[in-house]
Amino acid sequence: MIDLHCHILPGLDDGAKTLDHAIEMGRNAWEDGITKIVATPHVFRENISQTDFVSIRQKKEDLKKALEENNIPIELVAGAEVHISHNLIDEIRKNRQDLVINRGSYVVVEFPQVHVFFSVKDLFFDLMNEGIIPIIAHPERNSVFMEKPSLLYELIRMGALVQSNSGSFVGRYGREVEEIAFRFLQYQFTHFIGSDGHGVHSIPPILSEAVRIISPVIGEKNAHMLVQDNPQAVIDNQELPYLPDPVDPHASQKSFRVKIPKIFKRSD
Ligand SMILES: [Fe+2]
């Protein structure tokens, strides 16, 4: 599997604190069946953003070497989790190679948790005009998308992609986020599942649990697409092999109900 979203580079943001923590995260991921990790430190985010790209590149090289020395054969891929702001286009023009995944066209973008600004469609239009394909990180945790899935639908119809967190499907962020994650999955909004891993314990770089849980919902083959074939296409800068038609939430409001597989329901 490939983890498209992980804060494994140490000492840059609220992810791995030290090189030892990062190595431990790599070990956990490898044991879970993850062979590639896209390192996505927060950039342009207040308080915990890291915009020293020279330092980010160096940390990636240091960790790559440390993983090799510790016999953890995980491949690290360059990326970032880019906080959305009004001057994002300027930042993309200035620092494109440090923001896109593996020097391609895809960028992981993050909205503030409780806010999606008014001109988001214009911004996404401008991004795509620059040849950038935005991957919206964990929209199931954003209160605007939670209340208004039709906005997410419209952005997907424009060409944006969606990455949900593996932890969202196992209740790590609470019941409401879990239900929304399944709802988006059933609307066929979800193109990737990433760990958004921040450490060994709090949010670990684990994908297999979520894959097991969603397989009865979208099928084993499609579940695999979200953690293997689709993220591999991003790394290779290719079109996604699994790109289902999103369902219009307005058109399907009555017939769609959130179905969380019973066997995986938690007791609390
Ligand atoms: Fe993240």
Share above pLDDT 90 across residues of the chain, in percent, rounded to a whole number: 82
Per-residue confidence band for 18, with pLDDT thresholds at 50, 70 and 90: very high
In a domain, 98, yes or no: yes
- Name the residue range of residue 253's domain: 80-264
263: pLDDT strictly greater than 50: no
pLDDT at residue number 49: 56
202: which residues sit within 8 A by CB, 6+ positions away?
none
Q: What is the pLDDT of residues 123-147, one digit of tens each?
A: 999 999 999 999 999 999 999 999 9
In a domain, 41, yes or no: no
In a domain, 198, yes or no: yes
In a domain, 110, yes or no: yes
pLDDT at residue number 51: 73
Angle at 106 between CA 101 and CA 143, to 5 degrees: 110
From ligand 1's centre to the CA of 7, what distance in Å? Answer: 6
Per-residue confidence band for 256, with pLDDT thresholds at 50, 70 and 90: low
In a domain, 241, yes or no: yes
Q: Are 81 and 42 in contact (CB under 8 A)?
A: yes
In a domain, 20, yes or no: no
Number of domains in the chain: 1
From ligand 1's centre to the CA of 73, what distance in Å? Answer: 23
In a domain, 68, yes or no: no
The edge-to-edge listing of strands for the beta sheet with 75-78 is: 2-6, 36-39, 75-78
From ligand 1's centre to the CA of 80, what distance in Å? Answer: 9
From ligand 1's centre to the CA of 203, what distance in Å? Answer: 10
In a domain, 5, yes or no: no
Q: What is the pLDDT of residues 184-241, one digit of tens each?
A: 999 999 999 999 999 988 899 999 999 999 999 999 999 999 999 999 999 999 999 9
pLDDT at residue number 32: 98
From ligand 1's centre to the CA of 252, what distance in Å? Answer: 30
pLDDT at residue number 222: 97
From ligand 1's centre to the CA of 226, what distance in Å? Answer: 17
From ligand 1's centre to the CA of 40, what distance in Å? Answer: 7
Share above pLDDT 70 across residues of the chain, in percent, rounded to a whole number: 91
Q: Percentages helix, strand, coil for the chain, rounded to the nearest 5?
A: 45, 15, 40
pLDDT at residue number 117: 74
Q: What is the pLDDT of residues 35-71, one digit of tens each?
A: 999 999 999 876 555 578 999 999 999 999 999 999 9
pLDDT at residue number 189: 98
Closest Cα partner for 107 from 122, 97, 117? 97
Burial class of residue 244, CB neighbours in 10 A (0-12, 13-18, 19+): middle
106: pLDDT strictly greater than 60: yes
From ligand 1's centre to the CA of 254, what distance in Å? Answer: 33
From ligand 1's centre to the CA of 194, what distance in Å? Answer: 9
pLDDT at residue number 267: 38
From ligand 1's centre to the CA of 255, what distance in Å? Answer: 33
The CATH number linked to 141 is 3.20.20.140
From ligand 1's centre to the CA of 111, what distance in Å? Answer: 11
